Structure 1
């Protein structure tokens, strides 16, 4: 059984049912029933046209459910004829689902969960394991999301920016359980890039590829974090880097700069440096200036302060940091790093310890604690 094939066909089949007039929640249930049937039947009797098979079975499942509900008798009369699956609008059907699952009426967490279920084809259990929550909890979240978008009409152009935000959230969840969400986000973004020509879609894909290329070098054998400057660059995936740079160059050539393209350009400059010492921090700072102009995001300003410290010296970096709200997550960690670079290990050690206390996860807390201990040991 080709699980990847089933997952790739899921949004196409679901989109066809929705286009035929099935409401989203009923269509999604029917598609899931069809997938269960496929797992049961296909190993012994594989279909010649898997997509057509799924559409036919899912549509019949939907009709069966509709007939069982007397309150929908009128609707049943409308949909009693079973049309042919068809293939011309498969891309449009999948694209509609991206926009539906990223609808503004959904919370970010619900939009991510619904995207993984409807577009990604993941089971509720897989999504729950990835988010480390009980399956029942995730099931309720997905059900609420489906009810929210059940009556949404997709007769207006969708908001690409919202879809990209959702995919970026999926990517940043990384890996837990048995599903690599970063890899899943790349797969979905590839699909989106194949469906529409948009420089920011390409920019996000390039950013994901360039970031994912460093994945194996980000942690030591004991699971501890390895900072970018200390990573073994021989472990970076050069194939993904080459693809990411190629995708980025094509996007930038369209001269419609967006924030994901700018972030990807920064990632490409890091990837281009053979050693940390060879990093072109002046160019990186220029891209951060572009990014601040595009977003004026406080997190971007925080990262820019690090780039200022590398390009113009730690004093300049601290001056840039002073212009940012000190309650921002990871502010204290950046301050610790810049003060250490400026030759104040006592203050840096205290700030590292403070940052460790505020760290959002165990791996980061352990890393910052080790940084504080390293400086305190030197002082002793």
Structure 2
């Protein structure tokens, strides 16, 4: 038999009471009905002293009949699954506070999928804006980053056909890995690295199909914006971007079309697997980089008379054409980025740092001077694993 004393019982009651106070649960909860969910944000330069923040806010289906007469700019077609609102401030935090004054619900960054910088503010510097996104608790470090030609808010205001809004469209483009894909965390890491350089996908709206058929849905020309010390210093086109992706080991999906030597027609190969390895070398005071690129491909379409099924030499001819195409694209990216813009977006600084820590420590302050002088040797090894089962073109009579 256990006999409890009165004093022991009182102490136990007080202890349970204190424990209950610690388990009060969601004392700072926010109901979803009280939140304005931001799905995308655009940052533009308003004047020399202020910026304009534009947010795309998700509208629940039950509220999709909101009238455009209320000053809401629809995005997402007739369903109006989102709308955009803007405010001006001296910085992001200030603009956000002014924007909050215009809305009945509390703005919430937790669902923001994309952040777009207008080119004007990208060229003037984005470090202060990154400071806000990295300090504030709500913005997602996995949000995808973009730069747009002209005003970034125009991207958020585009109509969409396949997705609910432009933020979802851009998220799916980034996830596809067909073009450069950079998150907020990636951008902060690149600018904080030894190279102090970064690359972001650059969007330019395409022209209308015709005067009688202006296409107002999302339609972009993809390129890459190059940053150095948080400021955009230039851009490279879509073809050169492919070469940069090879160097960064970030190309996951691609269809490469080549013209094999000595033939008429083309061969299109579907990329199955790709791996790029960087090998830094320092010898006799010279800094060199070996780039090893290995790809595995399928023959997707063959409009030449090469018999890829039965002739091994034909396969080697196509593989050589693939290697030449890869090397030309990589060399084009090097010529533009390494020699013209002189911004190390390829991660060469990190490779030398890891391989030669002592030499790097002595020369890291001179990296901007050293990077353009690094000799780069490109070694491409494309393998046609599955040439296909059809040889119709090769067996056609003359």
Which is higher, the Rg of structure 1 or of structure 2?
2
TM exceeding 0.5:
no
Larger proportion of helix: 1
Which of 1 and 2 has higher RCO (CA within 8 Å, sep 6+)? 2
User: What TM-score, normalized to structure 1?
Assistant: 0.29
